[in-house]
């Protein structure tokens, strides 16, 4: 079965992303089209990128990198839950992404973002990063506003219509992840 990671992309204490990611995961568990897993980058304790070789060489030397690589390699697609900090994604998520290369390739990604402008600028930056990593990012996304989907900017209370948008994100990520399985299989044969 197709495996999709819901990646919580913030490590900030008191982060709004934890309840958002849990909401995404709760909706995912109601589906039967893929196996979904919540992956919190905070659980991997990744320092600032400390690998001597570029990730594209695949020569990981650090135990934390090898553990992170094994986890990401086990998935066929991703739904990134990202905050927007200063018109971009979190430094912690960008750092976690930058640790790896081949483990991301030929997979699909969707986005659930949050921020004062719905986190849309963070997603625009992530779309550029995904292109370099050979990840097919889907069109649909969920953009949660700190003004209307959170009480006092901290208690998550999403508008009901976001659940439908999230369903479309899942539909597209699963469809593209499945479509890319042939590409991943061909890639594995040529290595």
3-state secondary structure of 2: coil
The pLDDT value given to residue 114 = 98
Q: Length of the chain in residues, anyone?
A: 191
What six digits make up the tokens of 164? 């439908």
Pick out the chain residues at pLDDT < 50: 191
The pLDDT value given to residue 188 = 59
Which residue has 């919580």 as its token pair? 8
Distances (CA, A) of 51 to 8, 57, 58, 95: 23, 11, 10, 12
pTM for this prediction: 0.96
Superfamily of domain 3-190: Flavodoxin domain (3.40.50.360)
Nearest to 17 by CA among 36, 48, 39: 39
Report pLDDT digits (tens) over 9-50.
Answer: 999 999 999 999 999 999 999 999 999 999 999 999 999 999
CB atoms within 10 A of CB 49: 14
Distances (CA, A) of 23 to 29, 43, 179: 10, 19, 26
Enumerate residues 6+ apart whose C-beta is below 8 A from 104: 72, 97, 130, 133, 134, 135
Longest CA pairwise span in the chain (Å): 53
The span from the CA of 113 to the CA of 81, in Å, is: 6
The pLDDT value given to residue 191 = 46
What six digits make up the tokens of 106? 């030929």
What six digits make up the tokens of 111? 């986005």
């Amino acid at each position: 079965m197709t495996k999709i990671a819901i990646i919580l992309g913030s490590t900030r204490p008191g982060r709004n992303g934890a309840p958002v990611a849990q909401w995404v995961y709760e909706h995912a568990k109601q589906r039967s089209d893929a196996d979904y897993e919540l992956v919190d980058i905070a659980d991997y304790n990744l320092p600032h990128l400390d690998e001597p070789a570029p990730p594209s060489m695949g020569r990981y030397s650090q135990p934390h990198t090898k553990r992170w690589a094994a986890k990401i390699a086990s998935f066929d697609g991703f739904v990134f839950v990202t905050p927007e900090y200063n018109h971009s994604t979190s430094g912690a998520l960008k750092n976690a992404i930058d640790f790896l290369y081949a483990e991301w390739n030929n997979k699909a990604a969707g986005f659930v973002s949050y921020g004062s402008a719905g986190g849309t600028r963070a997603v625009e930056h992530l779309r550029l990063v995904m292109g370099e990593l050979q990840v097919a990012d889907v069109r649909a996304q969920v953009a949660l506003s700190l003004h209307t989907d959170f009480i006092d900017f901290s208690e998550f209370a999403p508008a009901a219509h976001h659940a439908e948008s999230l369903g479309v994100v899942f539909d597209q990520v699963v469809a593209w992840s499945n479509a890319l399985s042939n590409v991943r299989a061909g890639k594995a044969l040529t290595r």
